[in-house]
Structures are given as structure tokens and as C-alpha cells.
Amino acid sequence: MKRRLMTTLGVGLCAALALAGCGSGGSDSGSGSQTKTITFVAAEYSDATAPYWQNMVKQFEAKNPGYTVNLNVQNWNNIEDYVKNLVQNHQQPDVLNVDHWIDFAQDNLLYKASDVLSSQTMSDMLPNPKKIGTYQGTQYGIPFILSTRLMYYNKDWFTKAGLDPNKPPTTWAELSADAQKLKAAGCPEPYGMPLGSEEAQAETMQWMLGAGGGFVDAQGKWALNSSQNVAAVSQMASLVSAGLTEPNPGSVDRTAGTWADFEAGRVGMMLGHMTPMEDIATKKLAVNYGLAPMAGKDGPVTSTLGVGDFIMAFNNGNGANKDAVSKWLNFVFQQQNYAQFLTNEKFLPVTQSALTAMTSNPADANLKPFLNVLPNAVFYPQTDPAWPTVEDAIKHQIGTAVQGSSPAGVLGALQQTAQKAEQNGG
């Protein structure tokens, strides 16, 4: 009896200890000694992403014997929660690819870019993207891919509506008038406006840029409720109330909503980056479309929205992973490796060498219109510590501003959120 009791107690205790053991750990080894094993958490852009990285890791490990990269490709829907969880439990990855970096830098988790990138890679990086990774003079975020936005318009619907298929609208007034004609011709969604939580901030910011506004003012201070922005969102709301968009844009997501509908020939005009173009080409869809700069308040928008995603290196174990992380990042940015990723995923480059390579690569010729507007692209205020909070607030709330709530009221509330986040340090 007694012996059995002890055995059971022992087994239970071991189980408890094992459970407790799961909680600790992490990738940091003792300081001083260099670790050769690193973890890389990557965002999944398409079905081609995971195979690409698997292949890269294989090549890297073959060229650098003794080094190991533990690859972890995460879907965009969970990567945010996944990474937060890792960081909260002090198990941050060594290298991470997501769409924000400022909060990690603020919590002193990142290496400076110059600490982990070779001077060759550093000088290869284009100046404009470099800026969106730089906070108070120091670059932490390493821009990895860029995209720009253009207006797609369905030429067949334009013809059907009696519009010139080679003359897309350049002003808001023209856009509304064209949308009316498209509606009269039976187009189900004359202007596609995805203000659902997937990427509401992109659609919103492009409209604001068209009015000379933006999320921040010229000094970089939050200006969400500026008069230009109120005008822009009011213009969006007027399209919605005239029935020229999806009935409730606040619940329409970008990829599965507006873009999919455009590819199905249901949308007259919309904003998009390179993906719809690529989809239409690879799936051989019968959509006859044109590309143009987005219409602005008084004329075509000269500054398109630019969006950048980043790669960043975490300083784990007091610099113990620096050597391995640095080797891996420089390998990733080698021209042929990096250009392959961009060609696979149809994104725009952040390095001069990849830009040169892609300009001469016939497979990337269709990216030209998007590359052309890159020099004047305006990016999200990604260097502002409050940005991650503001971005989520916009995603959750901006849709209400075109569905009955007052644009000035909604923008005012967002401005308050931004200022509060600023005070709290992000």
C-alpha cells in the first residue's frame, strides 16, 4: 500500500515537473558563447512562400556547415498572435518577417540593421525604404518587400457604359460620374471599396492622399481628423450612400472580397497592388483591365500609397546569436536569392541590385507600372510607436464612417486613440 502510494506520488510529481519544464526554455544560450542555431519566423505570402524558404534554408545550411535555421512559416491570420505570445514568454525568434518593427525596437529587442547586415548589403538598400525602418536616426527595421497601389479598372464595363476604356477617371467628380454610368450599365460593384478588417487602412490612406491629407501631417504628428481627411472619408461615404460600392464596405475584405470580385468581372474600379494582375495572368481570367493612378480630389494622385514589410533580427542571449543571424540575413539578401523571392511573390524590391535585375528580367516586365510610382510612394507612419495600435483601430472602426456614422466623428475618435497610444509609448 505504502509503496504504491510513493510510486504514484512520484509519477505525479514527475508529470508536474515535466509540465513546469514546458514553460521555461528559449533560444538564448549562455552569454559569450555563440549559438549556431537560429529560429526564423516568416509570414506566408502565398503557396510559394514555404517551399522558397525551405529551399533557402537547405542551401544556407549546406554553405555554412554547423549552422541551423529552424524555419517556421506562419499564416498572416495568426502570425501576429503567435509572435506576441513568443515575445511575452521571452521566446522571441532570432529573425522575423512581419509588417511592423517599431514596437520590437522600442522594447530593445532588436539589433541595429548595421550590426547584422554587411556594409555591402547596407549600401545596396534603396534610400526611400531605408527611411521606413529608421527611428531617431538608427535603422532597426530592415525593409524586405514593398508594394505600391494603382487603380484597376475593367475596360469591358467602361465600354459597356459608354465610357472611353482608355480614359479612366482622374478626379473624384469624374470617378463618381463614371461609377454612376457603370451602375446604370448593370455593373454590380462600380467601385470596390474593401474597408473590412483585412486592409481598411490602405484604402483609407490612398483616399486621404488624394485630398492632400494622410495619417500624419508634414511634421509627422498624428492628423487623422484633418479637414483634408474628413473630406476624403466623406467622399468615400458619398459613393457608398449612392449605391456605387458594395452595400456595406465595412465588412468587405480585400483579397477574398473586392479583388476576387474584380477577377470575377463584377467590379468596375478598385485599388490594388500586383496580386490581382498576377492572378488574372496566371489563372488566364477573361478580365480586360487597365491600370492608372488613383483619382484624387482635383487630379490624379501623384503620391501613391506604399506598403513595406520588414525583416528584423532579435538580440537574444546578449549577442550570442549575432553571428548566425548576420550570416543568414546577408545570405537572404544576396541578389539572386532575394530577386527569386520577389519574382515568386510579385513584390517590389528594397535593394538596388534586385531592382536592376528585375528591370531586365522579362518575367517581371509587368511590374513596371508599379515600379514607376515607387519613387514617389508615401508609406504608413511605420516609424511611429503608436502605429501598430492606430492601424488596428482603423481596421476595426473606419468602416462605420461610410455606413452612417459621421466621418468627422469617427476620425476624431481615431485621432484620440492615436494620441493616447502616443502618451502610453505605443
Partner 1 sequence: MAELTTTRGRRGVRFVRALAPIPWLLPALVLIGGVVLWPVVEMVRTSFLRIGTSGYVRGSAGWTRYTELFSEPAFPHVLLRTLEWVVLVVAATVVISLLLAQLLNRGFPGRTVVRWALIVPWAASVVMSSIIFKWILDWSHGVFNTLLLDLHVISKPVDWLGTPSSAFWWMVGVAVFVSVPFTTYVCLAGLQTIPGDVYEAAEVDGSSRWNTYWRITLPLLRPALLVGSVINIINVFNSFPIIYTMYAGAGYDADTTTTFMYKLKDTDIGESAAAAVVNFVLVIIFVLFYLKATRWNEAVARK
Binding stretches for partner 1 (CB under 8 A): 1-2, 4-5, 8-9, 12, 15-16, 19, 80-81, 83-88, 100, 103-104, 106-107, 109, 188-189, 195-197, 200, 246-248, 250-251, 253, 261, 266, 388-389, 392-393, 395-400, 403, 405, 413, 417, 421, 424-426
Nearer to partner 1, 61 or 103 (CB): 103
Measured from the CB of residue 312, what is the shortest distance to partner 1 in angstroms? 11
**Cβ nearer to partner 1, comparing 124 with 384:** 384
Q: How far is the CB of 24 from partner 1 (least distance, A)?
A: 14
24 vs 119 by CB, closer to partner 1: 24
Residue placing its CB nearer to partner 1 in the complex, 46 or 424:
424
The least distance separating partner 1 from the CB of residue 58, rounded to whole angstroms, comes to 30
Cβ-based nearer residue to partner 1, 104 or 347: 104
Least distance in Å: CB of 146 to partner 1? 22
As measured in angstroms, the least distance from the Cβ of 392 to partner 1 is: 4
Residue closer to partner 1 by CB (options 183, 297) is: 183
Task: Name the residue nearer to partner 1 (CB basis): 234 or 376.
Answer: 234
Three-state helix/strand/coil letters over the chain: CHHHHHHHHHHHHHHHHHHHHHHCCCCCCCCCCCCCEEEEEEEECCCCHHHHHHHHHHHHHHHCCCCEEEEEEEEHHHHHHHHHHHHHCCCCCCEEEECCCHHHHHCCCECCHHHHCCHHHHHHECHHHHHCCEECCEECCEEEEEEECEEEEEHHHHHHCCCCCCCCCCEHHHHHHHHHHHHHCCCCEEECCCCCCCCHHHHHHHHHHHCCCCCECCCCCECCCCHHHHHHHHHHHHHHHCCCCCCCHHHCCHHHHHHHHHHCCCEEEEEECHHHHHHHHHCCCCCCEEEECCEECCCECCCCEEEEEEEEEECCCCCCCHHHHHHHHHHHCCHHHHHHHHHHHCCECCEHHHHHHHHHCHHHHHHHHHHHCHHHCEECCCCCCCHHHHHHHHHHHHHHHHCCCCHHHHHHHHHHHHHHHHHCCC
Kindly state the smallest distance separating residue 390's Cβ from partner 1, in Å. Answer: 9
Nearest approach, Cβ of residue 10 and partner 1 (Å): 10
Complex with partner 1: residue 344 or 400, whichever CB lies closer: 400
Q: Which is nearer to partner 1, 356 or 424 (CB)?
A: 424
Strand 95-98 relative to strand 305-313, pairing: antiparallel
- Which amino acid, 120? Q
Least separation in angstroms between residue 129's CB and partner 1 is 21
**Nearest CA to 69 among 83, 56, 87?**
56
Q: How far is the CB of 205 from partner 1 (least distance, A)?
A: 16
Beta pairing class for 378-379 and 95-98: unpaired
